[in-house]
Amino acid sequence: MRNELEEALRQLHTALESIETLEPDEAERLRRAAEEISSTLDEQEVDSASLAKRLQEQTEAFQESHPVLTRTVGRIADMLAQMGI
């Protein structure tokens, strides 16, 4: 599961670099959230539900205009929930 999560995070970073129509502040919030997830994967005391919720909340503004990006973020949130980290 961790490898899948890391791959999904890489896909998110790639998507953020290639999407030109996403507001810069929205992209930066997603980048920060993805970096936070990456940096906490090895920690024992991580509230994955909180991380997943924040990540999903940050996609609400562009769900319709960027469905692929929204699905990627949703996959990451689902994996966090399943990992229970």
Phi, psi of 8, rounded to the nearest 5 degrees: -65, -40
Q: What is the pLDDT of residue 85?
A: 52
Of the chain, the end-to-end C-alpha distance in Å amounts to 11
Higher pLDDT: 83 or 35? It is 35
* Integer Cα distance of 8 and 74 in angstroms: 10
DSSP string, 29-71: HHHHHHHHHHHHTT-SS--HHHHHHHHHHTTGGGTTT-HHHHH
Q: Where are the domains of the chain?
A: 1-84
Output DSSP code: residue 1: -
pLDDT, one tens digit per residue, over 1-55 is 678 888 888 888 888 888 888 788 888 888 888 888 888 776 656 677 777 777 7
